[in-house]
Structure 1
Amino acid sequence: MMRSLMARRLLCSASVTTLLAFAAAPALAQDQAKAQQAAPAGTQNDASGPDTSQDIVVTAQFRSERLQDTPLAISAVNGSLAAARSQVSIADIAKTAPSVNIEPSANGGGPSSTIFIRGIGQSDSIPAVEPGVGVYIDDVYYGILTGSNFDLLDIDRVEILRGPQGTLSGKNSEGGSIKLYNRQPTNDPGGYAEFTYGSFNRSQARGAVNIPIVDDKILLRVGGVYRHVRGFLDRLDYGCVNPGTVPQVSGSSRNDGCRIGREGGQDLAAIRATLRLNLSERLHDTISFDRISDHQESTPSKLIYSLPLWTGGLDFTTPAKSYSNYSTFTGQPFTANQYTQPARNDVDQWGISNVLDWELSDNLSIKSITAYRKSNTVANQDGDASPYNVFLQNFEFNNKQFTQELRLSGSLSSVLDWTVGGFYYHSDLLNKGYIDIAGGLAPGGGGVNLAFITRDPIKSESTSGFAHGVVHITDKLNVTGGLRYTDESKDYTFVRLSPTGGTADFRVAGLNGTSSRYSGSRWDYRVAVDYRWSPSLMTYAQVATGFKGGGINPRPYFPTQAVPFKPEKVISYEAGTKADLFDRKVRLSADAFYTDFSDIQLTVTQCDSLSPFPGAPCTQTTNAGNAKLWGAEIEGDIRPVGGLSINFAASLIDFKYKSVNPLTGIPLDADNPFLSKTKLSGGIQYEIPLFGGTVTPRLDVDYRSGFATEALPTLTDIGRVSPRTLLNARLTYRSEDRSWELSGGVTNLTDKFYYASRFDRSGPPFFTALGIVGRPREWSVSVKRNF
């Protein structure tokens, strides 16, 4: 009742603020010109030429600050640099940021991502489990990771904040935050159009246009993208490739030889429109709408382990470095009940947001961020990548999300800058699915023979209040403090139905209609101090806390597995420095950190203590134990002479359990999933005057050490991804006036075959493991017109 009342008050405050703003607009129009403000965040350059200033302005602490003046571990990339690096998604940006790992989901989450920063994140991408890293677009929080690998449609900049951000970001983002900011409408007409063609019939068109409808008053910006790319991994008919053997694929259509389909393709269409109303010099309202239709072929995967018992002695693995598998997405094959699911992952979503900025006086302002989003995700997974049926699942996530954030910011002379506010989040998730588990205990799959339909509604609500202040002790010394209180709840109802109608299998029937609830509250804080030794050198130190909410295991196969898990908590200590050296030709940012990591939430796939029989299927979110993390990070940008630019980043992280929950079976020396201990990246480009314009060759390299993908290691390390080094190259020609741009690029230049992630179910009852295949070498050519 109290949470609902607080929510209504927040909504009421937002509505009243908006009404007062419109009412006050005529009066405010008579006010004097506002005081000089900090430079606007990011850049606003449709020409997308290289940014030679090195200065990116960010808003990580609620105010516009130069990146080098922000006492946080933060990486930032503007739109022009992202284009130069051939970066088209948040995952691409993450490759060049220290301690950040974004990989495609491997556990049935479909077109979603597993996102980790400094070893903290979320390995299970099901929307019912909170992300450990918050993703924000134009300050709007996205509560689920499904569809989180957002296309960089028309970006101004991307900010990646490392470490707990609970007192700064909209929601309790304990591992860090990834914030994408789109270009905003301006009073300058213009825009750009870009066309790309490349490998696998890649056809892409993207562009944006800036339209001043009423000069200085009503401004519109519209951007859109369409992309088609054919899948790079072939699904083959085993019987066709191996004539005279069984099994044959019943009723499959062969489009080209023995191929029955592909994986890794995409058809994407997205549009975003932003309307800015400058109601006065002090009052601005921005309304944004976006629509995304992302239809993908299934996640490209290969069978890397199978038990001969269920294969009947047949070998369903394809050659080690071939882009192929024997997936059929067929359940109960060779029977009268045979069915086939579409080998697709699809996301359809739309959202609308309203951002009201009202400068009440020269030192007092209010900001209201209101947003609603609706998404529908369909994900299909053939968990054995073979013509048999060991594990086949379909998920459909229908999610509705509402967020409201209010911020009141002000300053007290030159002594204090402060912000207080509140945040409200509500989501309605319907977790639907069809789970078909034959198991790998018999030839062809069988032994468990469990099939059921899920229809689980899950409601989440979070309300918080926060305060943030920076005290300027002197013109060189600042002390920062932040405090946040969060109160949240989640309500679960488990529905289990029979695929053929009637009562569900007796082993799962006890879950049908069962309801559970999680609720909790938490205080978080941040204390930091920074000192500017000179105009070119600043150091800082901070301590910050964060948490990820608890809940009830959202993937129970049996009633005994529907058990609660506690919130995950962190306290992080960090010290860093930011420097501009040699007349700003060398820019460095470095930090070291130590983190206490408590009640770690991990997904285990063996939980006999909670199951009705040994080796029963299990996908259990549980508190694994306590650990410590420590590491160091460095980023740099070197511009020794005109036209030459070198950037680099590196991180080194160590993880060690201090204690583990003995019921999980996790050993003390286990690694944390998706944690690369070493990560290195770098890029070099040189802009050469040529042909009446400039030619810029660029080379980028990305290395990361191997990492585990499962909480519980196997004897053969099947769930571990090997180290990899990837190279990208790009050559760009720009006309002298920057109106035309022609570029060609190659990603994965050495055509390295690698696994981006793994799906390890090598234990009972599945006895199978898949590797999620990274993209091969791809080329593309683009032509861009700025106007």
Structure 2
Amino acid sequence: MKGSFVRASAMLSAAVVALALPSAVQAQNAQENAAQEDTNDSDANAGDIVVTAQFRGQRVQDTPLAISAVTSELAEARSQFSINDIARTAPSVNIEAGTGTGGSFPSVYIRGVGQSDPFPPLDPGVGVYIDDVYYGILTGANFDLLDLDRVEVLRGPQGTLAGKNSEGGAIKIFTNQPTNDLGGYVEATYGSYDRKQIRGAANIPIVDDKVILRVSGMARSVDGFFKRLDFACANPTAVPQLPFTAGVSAVNDCEIGRAGGGDLTAVKGSLLIKPVDSVRNTMSFTTITDNQQVQPLKLLFQSTSWNRGLNFITGPREMTSYATYVGNQYSAAPYQGIDYSHVKQKIYSNTLDIDINDKLSFKSITAYIKTDSEGGYDNDLSPLSVSLQDIIVKSKQFTQEIRLSGTSSLIDWTVGGFYFDNDILFPGRININRGFDPAGQPGFTLDFLTNDPIKSTSKSGFAHAVVHLTDSLNVTGGIRYTDDFKRYTFVRLDPDGSPQSTLLGPINGLSNTFNGKRWDYRVALDYRFSPDLLVYAQFATGYKGGGVSPRPILPGQELPYQPESVKSFEAGFKSDLLDRRVRLNVTGFYQKFNDIQLQLGQCPAISGPGAPCALTANAGKARIQGAEAELDVRPVDGLSINATASIVDFKFTETSADSGVLLTDKAPFISKYKFSIGAQYEFVLAGGTLTPRIDLDYRSNFSVGAPANARPFNVTEGRSLVNARISYKPNGDEWEIALAATNLFDKFYYASKFDHASEAQGATAEGLVGRPREFSLSVKRKF
């Protein structure tokens, strides 16, 4: 971990050397950039952020969509360094790491619509984009915000607005692009748990206004805060005795490993070539290596059917577990499972912009993403090897998007096409031992290897137009056609690679396909009553493709599932009040959610009562309604207050009989109430500005998985967290020093919980422990 941090730091240092230019030029550019950034900062607090949600640059206040936009300055002030952090303060948005996925696959939800099972073969319900490049699988999508310009969070169906169909919404991350300004920055951070981080960027014109290179990168290393202990060492009087882990003793507090730490390195290079003013071509390459310890999972419940009379549950506020990630420990063939999480990505992209004339433009976005990840999951969090998974994903994704846009005094329009091609190889190991008697003899056992190839393609065409009926009244229309294809082939082998066992034999070699075609559309009306008030209403549809259930444990479970879809009604207003010192945006929505895709822990109609099951199926229909508000207030110069709030009310209106889902159940990852508030004030002090800031965010309880009511540990309690930061900038804005604290009051909480207690292959419940209080000190220098 330390070695990779040093290597990455050396790479960043090399990039910084490129900034060693004549000091007079540096100073002049720094002053010009500082003046521009001061303007942007002021605009950001007022909400005047330019977004491209409708294919052309518009102020947030002029865009008739529910959209939250966050600049890099505001994200930094809030101590937001990943899309998970951004989600904390965005209305109706929830992003949580899945507890059973090795830590690599987050679940992303907007307005109660997302992906309850974030495994790669299943489509995400919320689209994630970086510089307009769509990420088809969410492996490794806990994106750190590298060289951030802004984040746009679009709520509600976005099927007619570029990229792939996204029924719940879209999260779009935009990085800083090459400009003709010579300069850059370097920032170094040190913090709790030996956190060391360096990040920076350099903007280098090679040929004035023709060929420009921008290089950015970061390296981060942090120790784990959660301890994994050897049970026998920590409980020497427990009966029956369990063997010690080799080399472990009470001298080192019985520790066999840590969780919650790791290191990350990322480097990005972008080359802009502009042969003439009307043609701009940007080539980018990004490489990311994310090596993390296992997730900080804590056992909450254990079944007496397998625990051999031992208690593997640690104290309620202790950040410890007895997980060993060892499989078949009490058999003749034990093995070490994957006790870490590793993601490596390489992203190649090319964006071509051509201004054909002053009314017509063309854009092409081409990208290739290669992802290799592996992670382990110790379901029982004990040394008894009751349930263990090694999860490996190898993905190669190609996307191509083209757009032709035109404008006139009457209409702004865009037509385009999108192509998505994804090849996934899904090797891994599943080890399940159930039915231990008091003597420790196993009953039902599954132990097999997977190596499933998965092929997905999606082809679509879309059109979007805004008709200006008057200077104040606009009508927007959009339409999209999508053609999806998926092929899933199941490979099941015994651990020694020999022909598969009798139990799993009928599954090996099976191949199923899904084909689906879909039309989506959007109609919107907006009217500007005055320069300070915009009112809008829209109806939109969204779609998430079907597929084949990716985890058949027994024959008969390799079943297809159908697409799910959303019909969304939305209305709202965007306002600037009191001489633009108060900005208030409010949206109300009503959604009909059909053929909801959920992972089911029981399928008695298919495999019989008590049989292991992890079936993806269409569970029913629901209605979702709610409201969202965003408030920015600047009552006096220097003081800024930001607040957001949302309410999301989800209710099943119909459930399928064999799903086990009840009308009274909760859907996963939906917090009914969510709000945040933050305030900062700039003081003039000692030839500079001192800016303290404090932020509070709250979300009410939510469940993970369904049916929620049948799982007593399935509800994650609501939580409120406080972050604080104080920064100092000398006049000239070239330097900044900042002291930050996250989870300021050191609250113990669970980021999510998952209850396997009612599942035949589970009989456990675990919680993902949230990070404790952490301090950090950062120094930033602009060039």
TM-score, structure 1 length as denominator?
A: 0.93
Superimposed CA distance per residue, residues 723-751 of structure 1 (whole angstroms, 9 cap, x where no aligned partner): 10000010100111111100011100111
**Alpha-carbon spacing, 1:562–1:488, altered in 2? closer, same or farther (3 Å):** same
Whether 2:624 is the aligned partner of 1:641: answer no
- 1:109 and 1:169 mapped to 2: Cα distance? 31
Q: Deviation of residue 244 (structure 1)?
A: 3.1
Equivalent position amino acid for 2:419 in 1: Y
**Alpha-carbon spacing, 1:587–1:96, altered in 2? closer, same or farther (3 Å):** same
Equivalent position amino acid for 1:141 in 2: Y
User: Counterpart of 2:165?
Assistant: 172
- 1:772 and 1:426 mapped to 2: Cα distance? 33
1:756 to 735, 751, 754: 751
User: Is the contact made by 2:735 and 2:779 (CA closer than 8 Å) also made in structure 1?
Assistant: yes
1:276 to 248, 264, 272: 272
Equivalent position amino acid for 1:186 in 2: T
Whether 2:386 is the aligned partner of 1:390: answer yes
User: Counterpart of 1:786?
Assistant: 782
**Aligned-residue RMSD, C-alpha:** 1.5
Higher mean C-alpha displacement, 433-442 vs 624-633 = 433-442
Q: Deviation of residue 451 (structure 1)?
A: 0.4
User: Counterpart of 2:118?
Assistant: 125
Q: Secondary structure at the match of 2:423?
A: strand
Q: Secondary structure at the match of 2:658?
A: helix
Q: Secondary structure at the match of 2:316?
A: coil
1:90 to 79, 83, 87: 83
Q: Deviation of residue 47 (structure 1)?
A: 11
Equivalent position amino acid for 2:733 in 1: R
User: Is the contact made by 1:656 and 1:669 (CA closer than 8 Å) also made in structure 2?
Assistant: yes
Whether 2:140 is the aligned partner of 1:147: answer yes
Equivalent position amino acid for 1:517 in 2: T
User: Is the contact made by 2:712 and 2:755 (CA closer than 8 Å) also made in structure 1?
Assistant: no
Paired residues, number: 743
User: Counterpart of 1:40?
Assistant: none
User: Is the contact made by 2:233 and 2:248 (CA closer than 8 Å) also made in structure 1?
Assistant: no
Equivalent position amino acid for 1:162 in 2: R
User: Counterpart of 1:185?
Assistant: 178
Q: Secondary structure at the match of 1:144?
A: coil
Q: Deviation of residue 105 (structure 1)?
A: 1.3
Equivalent position amino acid for 2:548 in 1: I
Equivalent position amino acid for 1:377 in 2: S
2:207 to 195, 214, 219: 214
User: Counterpart of 2:196?
Assistant: 203
Q: Secondary structure at the match of 1:662?
A: coil
**Alpha-carbon spacing, 1:394–1:709, altered in 2? closer, same or farther (3 Å):** same
Superimposed CA distance per residue, residues 590-627 of structure 1 (whole angstroms, 9 cap, x where no aligned partner): 1000000000001111112222x421221111000011
Whether 2:575 is the aligned partner of 1:576: answer no
1:697 to 686, 692, 700: 692
**Alpha-carbon spacing, 1:626–1:715, altered in 2? closer, same or farther (3 Å):** closer
Superimposed CA distance per residue, residues 143-177 of structure 1 (whole angstroms, 9 cap, x where no aligned partner): 01111110011010000000000000300100000
Whether 2:670 is the aligned partner of 1:675: answer yes
User: Is the contact made by 1:706 and 1:724 (CA closer than 8 Å) also made in structure 2?
Assistant: yes
2:487 to 480, 486, 491: 491
- 1:629 and 1:53 mapped to 2: Cα distance? 31
User: Is the contact made by 2:492 and 2:505 (CA closer than 8 Å) also made in structure 1?
Assistant: yes
User: Counterpart of 2:299?
Assistant: 303
Equivalent position amino acid for 1:229 in 2: V
User: Is the contact made by 1:98 and 1:649 (CA closer than 8 Å) also made in structure 2?
Assistant: yes
**Alpha-carbon spacing, 1:390–1:287, altered in 2? closer, same or farther (3 Å):** same
Superimposed CA distance per residue, residues 511-551 of structure 1 (whole angstroms, 9 cap, x where no aligned partner): 11111000010000000000000000000000000100000
Superimposed CA distance per residue, residues 391-417 of structure 1 (whole angstroms, 9 cap, x where no aligned partner): 100011000000000000002x30000
Q: Deviation of residue 714 (structure 1)?
A: 4.5
Q: Secondary structure at the match of 2:149?
A: strand
**Structure 1 runs not aligned, ≥5 long:** 1-42
- 1:137 and 1:765 mapped to 2: Cα distance? 38
Whether 2:268 is the aligned partner of 1:266: answer no
Higher mean C-alpha displacement, 508-517 vs 757-766 = 757-766
Q: Deviation of residue 442 (structure 1)?
A: 3.3
User: Counterpart of 1:10?
Assistant: none
TM-score, structure 2 length as denominator?
A: 0.93
- 2:95 and 2:442 mapped to 1: Cα distance? 35
1:64 to 26, 50, 57: 57
Superimposed CA distance per residue, residues 42-84 of structure 1 (whole angstroms, 9 cap, x where no aligned partner): x984999664553100000001000000000000000010000
2:626 to 631, 639, 648: 631
- 2:469 and 2:324 mapped to 1: Cα distance? 67
**Alpha-carbon spacing, 1:476–1:252, altered in 2? closer, same or farther (3 Å):** farther
User: Counterpart of 1:666?
Assistant: 661
Residue pairs, 1:245-260, within 5 angstroms: 245=238, 246-251=241-246, 253=248, 256-260=252-256
Whether 2:340 is the aligned partner of 1:344: answer yes
1:729 to 724, 731, 739: 724
- 1:190 and 1:48 mapped to 2: Cα distance? 17
Q: Secondary structure at the match of 2:409?
A: coil
Whether 2:583 is the aligned partner of 1:594: answer no
1:447 to 443, 454, 471: 443
User: Counterpart of 2:683?
Assistant: 688
Give percent identity, aligned residues only: 54
Q: Secondary structure at the match of 1:239?
A: helix
User: Counterpart of 2:507?
Assistant: 511
1:292 to 281, 288, 295: 288
Whether 2:550 is the aligned partner of 1:554: answer yes
Higher mean C-alpha displacement, 444-453 vs 134-143 = 444-453
Equivalent position amino acid for 1:121 in 2: G
1:777 to 752, 773, 783: 773
Residue pairs, 1:97-136, within 5 angstroms: 97-136=90-129
Higher mean C-alpha displacement, 334-343 vs 582-591 = 334-343
Superimposed CA distance per residue, residues 292-320 of structure 1 (whole angstroms, 9 cap, x where no aligned partner): 00000011100000012311121101100
Q: Deviation of residue 481 (structure 1)?
A: 0.1
Whether 2:145 is the aligned partner of 1:157: answer no
User: Is the contact made by 1:111 and 1:299 (CA closer than 8 Å) also made in structure 2?
Assistant: no
Equivalent position amino acid for 1:301 in 2: L
**Alpha-carbon spacing, 1:45–1:289, altered in 2? closer, same or farther (3 Å):** farther
Q: Secondary structure at the match of 2:236?
A: coil
